[in-house]
Amino acid sequence: MTLEEQLTAYRPFNEQEARDLPLMLDFLRHGERPFERANETRHFTASAWVTNAARDRVLMIWHNVYRSWAWTGGHADGETDLLAVARREAEEESGVKGLRPVSEAPLSVEILTVDGHEKRGRYVPGHLHYNVTYLFEADAAQALRAKPDENSGAGWFSPEEALEACSEPWMAERIYRKLIYKMK
């Protein structure tokens, strides 16, 4: 299923998604280089919300740019299969093995703001991430590792611990709380 088919079939969960989804579809259909960072104002990204089969643990990384415990995810970099991007980023950023997508359909959609910041010695201007989140399962007993150029740690948290550990109030309350509710 193409991303356009996934987003067209997606049913918004709340007002945030209902407002963001048409903008995402319009950008996908008419935007310039929607899957490339060369579009410095906005581009598609993918995130993985990784949980164990019992749904009582979620995978989080300590994100060096956001200085917060966060989900895994990243830029499409030209790839149009965002489920594959989400899987790749989760594996690269945490070392998690044996990821199983719960569905090929998105768990969540959101347009996220990114403040200007330095990355690898280069200034990155503020921009928007047109983000699609997918739900994955993995064994929470496995060892994880950091990816030092992007994060400083990876770990399994209870859903409530994940909310408390996140130092970005908007992400914790508006995005992660939604994902916790929807993953059940």
CA 85 to chain centre: 10
Domain containing residue 157: 3-182
What are the tens digits of pLDDT across the range 116-153? 998 889 999 999 999 999 999 999 999 999 999 999 99
CA–CA gap between residue 145 and residue 1 (Å, rounded) = 32
Residue 3's SS3 state is helix
pTM, full prediction: 0.96
Q: In the numeric block, which tokens belong to residue 76?
A: 């499409």
CA–CA gap between residue 126 and residue 175 (Å, rounded) = 20
Domain count along the chain: 1
Non-local (6+) Cβ contacts of 5 within 8 A are none
What are the tens digits of pLDDT across the range 28-61? 999 999 999 999 999 999 999 999 999 999 999 9
Domain with residue 23: its CATH number is 3.90.79.10
